[in-house]
Structure 1
Amino acid sequence: MLRTLLFDQQWCMLHYPEQPNGFAIFIIGDQQHYVNEESSFWIDNMGRKQMIERLTQAGYFVYYSNLFEKNWGNQQSVEHSYNLYQLIMRKEILNQKIHKLAEGMGTLTAAQLIPLMEDNIRSIVLFAPCISLEKHIEQEQTRKFYYKKLMKEIKAAFNEESVHINTEKPIEEMKESLFIIQVIDQNRYKDQLELIHQLLLKRKEKKLPVEIHYILLENRQYITEKIIRFLKENEKVL
């Protein structure tokens, strides 16, 4: 079952499983993510639609918001996400500790939610993550058209061009399990790889749970099963 709702002037989509397992997944999308009154990127894109179908078949309640589209992790997206979580928990019968699945740009918002929701996060999955906005801006400087477009989006999101978001530290220090999925042959955030490697090392040094999986774009269809396996491993303690 599918339901849409308008919350904080943003369309949100809720996917209900036929046989609920009691756990929720909050998806925070990348640059191409959108939700409107009738559809969403996760319905219109065949690969993403199949992912949602498989997650709901496994019993998960899945939800996401339009989230101001190209928000680049601004405060508005963080506050909206937190308030949406509170609304969902009031309206649905679910375990209070949720899974988060963030892709690309969505990592910037997901990371800032960690200190706000430290008692309500079960695990986090990062798909081809953008951990550092500053690093991404630096990467795009060599591509004039994309750089100009990016800076226009950032100015619209923050009302300024110089932005610093503390995202690496919350991800590095969070106690919950972290699963990173990296696409080897097509990744718009390729300059983030060194940061990700450093993040992995720091979490391992602190003996914090972390796992990384590298895939080729052509093997994307297998990733959902790996995600489900990871989620279930983190549901043993309610």
Structure 2
Amino acid sequence: MENRNFQLDNEWNIIHYPEKPTGFGILILGDERHFVDAKNSFWLQNEGKLSIINKFKESGYTIFSSNLYGRNWGSDKAFDLAARLYQYVIRTEILNTKIHIFAEGMGALTAIQLMKRMTGQIRSVVFLNPILSLKIHLEQEKEHKFFLKKLSKELETAYQCSFKQLEEKVLTQNEEFPYDHHIPIKMIHVLSGGRAYNQTKFNLSLIKHEVESHKIESSLILPEKKQQIGAMIVKFFNRHEKIL
């Protein structure tokens, strides 16, 4: 069996099985385009993402992911389901209880919640072009009226409150990245397009001290080098598996 789709709280989830499992698991938290349904997922449909999945499987990783209510923007509901998925997978599969996380874009917001509240269950985290602050993301999108209108509707659905209420709450949030020395972190930024560049610039300023002091690894890559991402992640994950 290559993969298994199942439901938790009416949301579809998927587990990808390697031929030769090592006993280590990876939770994938996808970006805005991410989805999982009864028979498919974005990571199976997209050629670039599938190559990363295949690299993980070749390396013996059991991979699991969830639809997480679609464009959840790091909501508490998304965190709760991600935590439930972790518990389910650890209970039903033969895996080490400390997992790796790979988070892209919007998925970073849920990953940060997991890092804050599930420290002992996380082995390491890799971020790809992450959104590390909903506050800054909102401020950036205000320059793009079309994107802001779309984002505001998604946020109202995700957080189940008015955009004005959420905006007031978000604007008072602390911008500091919740660095925890117990969790090894790697940031990968693919340099493509103006908006991606602005997000990268902000992310690097937010974690500047941690990068300069070598507490967080950071890699900048060109779009034509994206095929190297899977190998980069596996190499990083491997380094943090010596202590079970």
Question: Percent identical across equivalent pairs?
Answer: 39
Q: What does 1:115-194 correspond to in 2, within 5 Å? A: 115-158=116-159, 159-161=161-163, 162=167, 163-164=169-170, 168-170=176-178, 172-186=179-193, 188-194=195-201
User: What one-letter code is carried by the residue in structure 2 that aligns with 1:160?
Assistant: S
1:203 is aligned to: 210
Q: What does 1:92-131 correspond to in 2, within 5 Å? A: 92-131=93-132
User: What one-letter code is carried by the residue in structure 1 that aligns with 2:192?
Assistant: D
CA shift for structure 1 position 187: 6.7
For the 8 Å contact 1:21–1:59, the answer to whether it is kept is yes
1:220 aligns to 2:226 (yes or no):
yes
3-state SS in 2 of match to 1:68: coil
Q: What does 1:7-46 correspond to in 2, within 5 Å? A: 7-46=8-47
Q: Tell me how far apart the structure 2 counterparts of residues 168 and 63 of structure 1 sit (CA, whole Å).
A: 29
- Provide the TM-score with structure 2 as the length reference: 0.91
- Provide the TM-score with structure 1 as the length reference: 0.93
Stretches of structure 2 lacking an aligned partner (at least 5 in a row): none
For the 8 Å contact 1:130–1:189, the answer to whether it is kept is no
For the 8 Å contact 1:98–1:122, the answer to whether it is kept is yes
For the 8 Å contact 1:129–1:189, the answer to whether it is kept is no
Alignment RMSD, CA only?
Answer: 1.7
User: What one-letter code is carried by the residue in structure 1 that aligns with 2:218?
Assistant: I
Q: Tell me how far apart the structure 2 counterparts of residues 13 and 166 of structure 1 sit (CA, whole Å).
A: 34
Equivalent pairs, count: 236
Stretches of structure 1 lacking an aligned partner (at least 5 in a row): none
CA offsets 1:51-101 (integer angstroms, 9 cap, x no match): 101110100000000001100001000011011101111111101100000
